[in-house]
Amino acid sequence: MVFKKLFGKEGQKKKSQQDEASTIEDLIVLERYDEAVARLKPHLKQHPQDLHAHLRLAEAYLGLDERGRALDEFMFVADEYARDGFYDRGIALLRKAKRFAPATQAVDEKIERLELIKGAERSRARAVEALRSGRGAATAAIALEGAWPEVAGSDLMRNLGADPLKRLFAQLELVVFTKEEKLGRAGQTGERLYFLLSGVVSARLPGATGARAEIRSFGPGDVIGESVLLEQKGWPAEYVVAEPGRALVLDREGLAATLQGNPDPRGFLTSLRMQHSDRHVAKMLAEIRGTGPAAAGGEAAAKGPTDPQESR
């Protein structure tokens, strides 16, 4: 008997809500927008996450030609869609809002932001899938998931297309490095490129100590060792771990696998060396030693870079 009463009350409550929703829809159809707003506002105070009601309220505001308030409702619902991962629905809603607010910069900015987030999320999913099925296995995938907020906006992630990204991450392996560990020694050739997930790596003057030894530091999202692996050059300086962390590593064998059957190997390699980290370290080191453009009285600077990559 008690259960019957409970279920009866629940059923009555649900029917009451359905009747209220139906009434609001009827009011909007009949263009009685003031009455629809009067019913929707108290409802949303009790149920702020009722997105359907927010959209109905936006429609009623449009009927009253209160476009600013309607836009606020659209923006709120778009944010909620994005929060739940429905980026396409959020973007579609914002584009609908542009029809009555075409000159609103905030709408354009939010569309652009959601497009970027959507692209980053797709990249994350592809990268994680490639790591799980490739050489990196589950541990590398978990590490990338944890570091994603730090590395999502990196040059590497922004510039790799879908196919190159899968090719690369299928060949990456996870390494953990400890403080003061040397990842590279000046002049020494190597077979590894590092995509940093966490920690700090310091490029230092060979043989120097103290604060003046550091040329530049690298953190999450940075790529180091690109000239060592891709151009088979020596490390331009000593690369020492300043703060312990983790990185995804590409070796010579992995690089060969990424290039095999690659429809655009040149573009792929360009994406890998996008930051020119090693090149920048070598340039700064030359200037410190007095052999670079800044230290040559402007003569070398006037001639311009000898490598066409520097002029880009």
155-311 has CATH 2.60.120.10 classification:
yes
Check residue 308 and give its pLDDT: 37
Is 155-311 the same fold as 15-119? no
What is the arithmetic mean of pLDDT over 100-125? 86
Give long-range contacts, CB 8 A cutoff, 24+ apart: 215-220: 215/281, 215/284, 215/285, 215/288, 216/280, 216/281, 216/284, 217/242, 218/277, 219/150, 220/147, 220/150, 220/151, 220/154, 220/196, 220/245
Which residues of the chain form beta strands (DSSP E)? 173-177, 182-184, 192-196, 200-204, 214-218, 223-224, 238-243, 245-251
The yes-or-no verdict on residue 311 having pLDDT over 90 is no
pLDDT at 16: 55
310 SS3 class: helix
| Strand-pair partners of 218 | 201
- Picking from 168-172, 201-205, 301-305, which range would have the lowest pLDDT averaged per residue? 301-305
Neighbours of 10 (CB within 10 A): 10
Q: The domain 15-119 belongs to what CATH superfamily? A: Tetratricopeptide repeat domain (1.25.40.10)
- The end-to-end CA distance of the chain, in Å, is 80
pLDDT tens track for 240-286: 999 999 999 999 999 999 999 899 999 999 888 888 999 999 999 88
Domain extent listing, the chain: 15-119, 155-311
- What tokens appear for 205 in the block? 């003057």
Q: Which pLDDT does position 225 carry in this prediction?
A: 94
Which is it for the CA torsion 309, 275, 166, 241, positive or negative? Answer: positive
How is residue 303 written in tokens?
A: 């001639």
Reported in sequence order, the residue ranges of 87-212 that DSSP labels E, i.e. its strands, are 173-177, 182-184, 192-196, 200-204
pLDDT(293) > 60:
no
Cα 134 to Cα 143: distance, rounded to the nearest angstrom? 14
Mean pLDDT taken over the chain: 84
Q: What is the pLDDT of residues 87-100, one digit of tens each?
A: 899 999 999 988 88
Instruction: For residue 174, list its beta bridge partners.
Output: 248
